[in-house]
Amino acid sequence: MKESRINAIFSFFYFVGLIVIAFIMGAIVIRYGLPPSRSLINGFIAAEAYIKALDEAEQDQEVGKKIREELAGKSESNIQNPKVTWNEKKAFNGYTLISTGYLSTPILVDMNGKIVYRWNVPIEKVWSSAIGCTNIFRVGVYFVDRAHLFPNGDMIAQYADAAAPYGCGIIKVDKDSNILWSYKGFVHHDSFLTKSGEIYTLIQKTIVDSIPGFEQLPYPFTADDIVKISSGGKEEMRISIIDALIGTPYELIMLHKGDGDGDDKFDLFHTNSIDVLSAEDAAKFPMFKTGQILVSMRALSTLAVIDPVSKKVIWAYHGFWRYQHAASFLPNGHILLLDNQGHTEEGGKHSRVLEFNPATLGIEWSYIGTKEHPFTTSKVGRLQRLPNGNTLINESQNARIFEVTPKGDIVWSYKLEKRNNAKHDYSDATFNTMRYTAAELPFLKDSKEAPPKK
């Protein structure tokens, strides 16, 4: 008995001694900058920031709940009564899938702006806590920033929030809003749906350890990975955009510093769109191959194409745009993108749509709005080139979606009224926009609008 007590006392002081020695060695390492002091310091900073964010999320959940309750009063009225104009002869007829800060899940509207279908999947039904997800309940404004429809009414919905690290996850639901699967992670901004049902998306992470040759970057900072998710919701592939750049002629773009947003200091890439080159369109892009991935890095004002086999950037261009979004391959060999802040006529930071030719590095077409119908969204935004040649434009921050002809004539417009009591600049924004034909959505023939859940 006496011997076991002595052993217990010895073990206690042994472990205390180890802790003291480790503390002293850690202090020496950090004091004199010995390896791995940088990793330790960055780790402490990242851990402190993460703990603080989680603490704030828990403390302010009730605040977020109250904000959502306040916004809900006007939301239903606003989405049921949009301002719509429609040139039936020139517009591309169909149904538009829209997600907004007004509602937690998307709606499908006809050309008159009437809601023909909606899904009811409140985020609390999928993820009940902000812990381990993101600060969705703290900010109080969450939304679907990207959605895709299947012919049977199934929907892919990507949930996001206005606070970094962005995103909460992706879900797939059926037409009756039953959850088929969910993928949890800091997915954000955009996703691409293949014909076989696979999803390519972006996921944010924090870089703590310094990168050899790039020690001057402001560690810790956020960066992005490309993630491929199977049709069943399982992760199949991941590509680090940082690793994709390193060792290529384009790696020094990581040192480019943004000149307009405070977030640029820590959100060095802010990758905000992703598109995959199809076999049908690849013939028009001799410099690229089927399956290669186009990404838009907003903070760098740069487009890049990444090969999924080598996992390296094979092309990048810092062009005529500033803080761009919504870059996509076009069937004619060009790239469509939203230049959020690159139109600076009359001293302002206005927006424009550009059709860029990567072969000649020239601008083939642009839309900049008019005095009667100005066009500005300094952040966010979405584009779609329609089969008839028109372009669907989502002017996100003004909650306005409109369709223009190649000549720049507006032939369809959908506008939501701003709410006076909105507490966040994303509360009234429109995020996802996608036009579908009736033939692409046969489930609508036997469906009626799902009633809003109380």
What does each C-alpha distance from 182 to 136, 158, 172, 195 come to in angstroms? 17, 10, 6, 20
90 pLDDT above the threshold of 90: yes
Q: What is the mean pLDDT of residues 97-106?
A: 84
Nearest to 254 by CA among 273, 268, 265, 272: 268
25 pLDDT above the threshold of 70: no
- Cα 177 versus chain centre, distance: 22
Overall residue count recorded for the chain in this entry: 454
174 vs 76, which has greater pLDDT?
A: 174
What is the Cα–Cα distance from 41 to 38, expressed in whole angstroms? Answer: 5
CB 435 within 8 A of CB 92: yes
C-alpha torsion angle, residues 101, 103, 105, 106 (rounded to 10)? -80
pLDDT at 65: 55
344 pLDDT above the threshold of 80: no
CB neighbours of residue 406 within 10 Å: 12
131 pLDDT above the threshold of 50: no
What is the Cα–Cα distance from 120 to 331, expressed in whole angstroms? Answer: 35
133 vs 249, which has greater pLDDT?
A: 249
Q: 3-state class of 184 per DSSP? A: strand
Q: Across 10-19, 261-270, 338-347, which has the greatest mean pLDDT?
A: 338-347
421 pLDDT above the threshold of 80: no
Q: What is the mean pLDDT of residues 15-35?
A: 55
Angle ∠(230,233,236) on CA atoms, nearest 5? 40
CB 321 within 8 A of CB 347: no
389 pLDDT above the threshold of 60: yes
Q: What is the mean pLDDT of residues 422-436?
A: 77
Instruction: Identify the band that residue 355 occupies on the pLDDT scale cut at 50, 70 and 90.
Output: very high
Q: Across 12-26, 45-59, 259-273, which has the greatest mean pLDDT?
A: 259-273
Q: What is the mean pLDDT of residues 341-368?
A: 89
Residue whose structure tokens are 């009940």: 128
Q: 3-state class of 125 per DSSP? A: helix
pLDDT at 72: 53
Q: Identify how many contiguous H helices and E strands the chain contains and give both numbers.
A: 7, 25
Q: What is the mean pLDDT of residues 2-11?
A: 56
CB neighbours of residue 88 within 10 Å: 9
pLDDT at 347: 63
The H-or-E segment that residue 50 falls in is: helix 37-59
Provide the percentage of residues in the chain whose pLDDT is more than 70: 73
Instruction: Identify the band that residue 349 occupies on the pLDDT scale cut at 50, 70 and 90.
Output: confident
pLDDT at 342: 85
Angle ∠(367,337,185) on CA atoms, nearest 5? 140
4 pLDDT above the threshold of 70: no
What is the Cα–Cα distance from 71 to 295, expressed in whole angstroms? Answer: 34
> Beta strands of 185-324 (E only): which ranges?
187-193, 199-207, 221-229, 235-240, 271-276, 293-297, 302-307, 312-318
Residue-wise pLDDT tens digits, 34-65: 555 555 555 545 445 444 444 444 444 454 55
419 pLDDT above the threshold of 70: no
Does CATH number 2.130.10.10 belong to domain 73-446? yes
446 vs 309, which has greater pLDDT?
A: 309
CB 144 within 8 A of CB 431: yes
282 pLDDT above the threshold of 60: yes
Q: Locate the domains of the chain by residue range.
A: 73-446
Prediction pTM value: 0.82
Query: Residue 7: CB partners within 8 Å, gap ≥ 6?
Result: none
pLDDT at 359: 96
CB 395 within 8 A of CB 403: no
Q: What is the mean pLDDT of residues 315-336?
A: 95
> Beta strands of 230-289 (E only): which ranges?
235-240, 271-276
Q: Calculate the average pLDDT of the chain.
A: 82
What is the Cα–Cα distance from 443 to 445, expressed in whole angstroms? Answer: 5
Instruction: Identify the band that residue 345 occupies on the pLDDT scale cut at 50, 70 and 90.
Output: confident
Residue-wise pLDDT tens digits, 150-190: 999 999 999 887 665 678 899 999 999 999 999 988 899 99
Q: Is 38 exposed, middle or buried (0-12, 13-18, 19+ CB in 10 A)?
A: middle
433 pLDDT above the threshold of 80: yes
Residue-wise pLDDT tens digits, 210-259: 999 999 888 888 899 999 999 999 999 999 999 999 999 999 998 876 55
